[in-house]
Chain A
Amino acid sequence: MMPKSPRIWQLAERRYRLLGSRCTACGKTSVGPRNVCPACGSEDVETVQLPSTGTVYSYTVVHALPAERERYGPYIMAIVELEDGTRVTSEIVDCEPEDVKIGMPVELAFRVIGQESEEGIIYYGYKFRPLVFRKTN
């Protein structure tokens, strides 16, 4: 379900920039800011920018669509493993369903995720697309 307008403002930054949390005690990272480390329970957790590239860990093509996306599909959903090992659930775009593979390199893209109603607020957020130019260090 799409959240109502005010909540968008709390969530905008983390959705737009793919923020995550990193525990300064044990080093565990996960997508989305947290106040307590899910691995060790430490409250010493910082909000960090997660890497913008990774590979497809698993994927599926969604044909039975939820109500919010009734006129949108089929679309590709994946769990992406980022370069630091953090995993994130995301749509894969700019790619035909038959071309997506486990291990395929992908990069962050900023896209429209949905809209509340025909004239309602538009939600933006991250999706991933096949990596076109591999970064050189």
Chain B
Amino acid sequence: MRDVAVIGVGMTKFGERWDKQLRDLFVEAGNEALKDANMGRDEVQALFVGNFSAGSFVGQEHVAPLLSDYLSLKSKPAFRVESACASSAMAFNLACMAVASGTYDIVMVGGVEKMTDVSAPEATSVYAKAMDAEWESFFGLTLPAAFALIARRHFVQYGTKPEQLAMVSVKNHRNGSKNPLAQFQFEVTVERVLSSPIVSDPLHVLDCSPVTDGAAAVILCSAELARKYTDTPVYVLGFGVASDSMALHDRPDITTLGAVVKASRQAYRMAGIEPKDVDVAELHDSFTIAEIILYEDLGFCEKGKGGMMIQEGETEIGGRIPVNPSGGLKARGHPVGASGAAQIVEIVKQLRGEAGRRQVPGAEIGMTQSMGGTASTCAVHIFGRRKR
């Protein structure tokens, strides 16, 4: 397999984008990525797009040729990947393999979701489709409720506290306040998180990522072509993908996300690094408890010590391993199918040194971690300023 590099990135403003349709959002992100790569659209050989549920949100399926058509990619192959919240991370993984194999030299990868056309209860029902429809959501389980079940077990088994969950939200909102594309550019306090309405106890509104419209896209090419387009390519050093049982109740211990453990170990091995070598990470903080468990399952800290890791500020910008400098899903926003690609956009900007007021100084190695449903799917990618 040959090495691959990201040479262009683009992302829309995330938020309630009543001014834009699904296709408009993706075209905006795709055009920006092409411009960033100093590349004409005719050079793109294939499109890989992550999208969770355009059928439920806006009544449109078969979105890959739609987006290709509106980007004027002509008759190039266009693939849609659906892995719930990990859709565009999984699209990126397939694109990496397609370029590494030599099938294509240059591809566009991205994700898009247009969610705010439906009501909050309808959105809750669509999210629930990312779990087992027959044995979980039929009986009334929602996605926030599933993470609430996980949180309560984490509290009991490891002594994690609601205040520590709130600190994740406080950090990510602080970072998001420095990101002009973030949905929420304001800070919150622990008190405000804990006094916000309950979604599914012990999770409050400010423990949960929001409903968001947005798109993100990147241009991926073989490493030998990268310098033709940019002086600052960002190389893919390693990746890992894993699955877990669809239903949470089929796992021996719901406080460990098995797919995260497996995917990350594969990625570390392929990149030839250890967790301590990660300079900056964009993690899937769909709920604050998720970020705390991710610290543990990615090997950033010991099992059960995730609450202490946030409390001691180790994942702040300037801390031992800065996590979610973009604001994460919590503050940047979570247009489900676009979040994996948005994480990659952020890490590329961080490694290029273009992240402005939220820049992690001197970042050389970055990680993205994205997961679908209750982490029934997990994709981890590791990026570097230098080749493997």
Contacts and interface: CB of A to CB of B under 8 A. Distances in A.
Contacts of B248: 79, 89
27 contacts: A2-B138, A3-B133, A11-B134, A31-B249, A32-B134, A60-B201, A60-B203, A61-B200, A62-B140, A63-B197, A63-B198, A64-B124, A65-B142, A66-B140, A67-B121, A67-B124, A68-B125, A69-B140, A77-B142, A77-B149, A79-B249, A87-B250, A89-B141, A89-B247, A89-B248, A123-B138, A127-B139
Contacts of B129: 1
Contacts of B197: 63
B142 A62 contact: yes
A79 B149 contact: yes
Nearest to B204: A63
A16 interface: no
A102 B138 contact: no
Interface string A6-34: 00000100000000000000000011100
Contact of B144 (A64, A91, A123): A64
Contacts of A102: 152, 156
Interface residues on A, range: 35 or more
Interface residues of B, number: 39
Interface in A52-77: 57-70, 75, 77
B138 A59 contact: no
A90 B124 contact: no
B135 A91 contact: no
Contact of B250 (A38, A66, A70): A38
Q: Is the contact region of chain A dominated by helix, strand, or loop, or is it mixed?
A: strand
A131 interface: no
B82 interface: no
A91 B138 CA distance: 10
B77 to A, nearest CB: 32
Interface in B141-167: 141-142, 144-145, 148-150, 152-153, 156
Given A79-B249, A89-B136, A113-B139, A62 B121 contact: no
Nearest to B124: A66
Interface string A81-120: 0000001111100000100001000000000010000000
B32 to A, nearest CB: 34
A125 B209 CA distance: 32
A11 to B, nearest CB: 7
A78 interface: yes
